[in-house]
Amino acid sequence: EVQLLESGGGLVQPGGSLRLSCVASGFTFSNYAMSWVRQAPGKGLEWVSAISASGGTTSYADAVKGRFTVSKEISKSTLYLQMNSLRVEDTAVYYCAKAFGTISLFDYWGEGALVTVSS
Amino acid sequence: DIQMTQSPATLSASVGDRVTITCRASQNIFAWLAWYQQKPGKAPKLLIQKASNLERGVPSRFSGSGSGTEFTLTISSLQPDDFATYYCQQYNTYNTFGQGTKLEIK
């Protein structure tokens, strides 16, 4: 059974940093691209970042480019999102999602980690 | 960037009703369109990919159609478990989600 478990969310001040983790199980982590998708309170879904199966290729939404970094530690089956220079508008539930067939289609999602950016 | 527009934003319906949600893309995305269901406090669930391919385990009352720029999600006979928010997503070029359609009980 595929499972994705996020951790690392919390309250941080504007300008601060936070690192999210997503531990994957139930599939061969090195064979699949992964993404982070976020959802601000009461709002819709917004893709944030993606990383290829090998970890060699990454992509970012314009809203986070230059501030967020996605990475994979294949030996630990763990996906990361390093978030720097956080803004109030980054407040959201962050989901990790496993890609299916193509890097941008998501067949399994974690339960999410809440990040609150506030002073 | 490809924009996705869903309608309606909110849909009120009763158990047993047939409902249709529409998703329009700002440019041709062929059939690279997915539908997700999300319940409050839960992660989205993939229902349909490539416009009309039902995921394993998804009830057959759900169906998807369309290509190019116009797509629909139809639920043939609403069940109590279907009241949720539905999102379309294009994955032809990167990916973009629609703004969502909240399906509520009338």
Give pLDDT, residue A101.
78
Give pLDDT, residue B7.
96
Calpha distance B55→A102 (Å, rounded):
15
pLDDT score of A102 more than 90? no
B44 neighbourhood in chain A, CB within 8 Å:
45, 95, 106, 109
Contact A86, A69 (CB under 8 A): no
Q: Which regions of chain B are under pLDDT 50?
A: none
Give pLDDT, residue B94.
87
Q: Do B44 and A101 touch (CB under 8 A)?
A: no
The token pair at B47 is 């229902």
Q: Read off the pLDDT of each residue in A110-114 and give the average, rounded to a whole number.
A: 97
Write out pLDDT tens, residues A35-93: 999 999 999 999 999 999 999 999 999 999 999 999 999 999 999 999 999 999 999 99
DSSP B14-75: -TT--EEEEEEESS--TT-EEEEEE-TTS--EEEEETTTEEPTT--TTEEEEEETTEEEEEE
SS3 per residue for B70-90 = EEEEEECCCCHHHCCEEEEEE
- Confidence category of residue A2, pLDDT binned at 50, 70, 90: very high
- Does A102 touch chain B if contact means CB atoms closer than 8 Å? yes
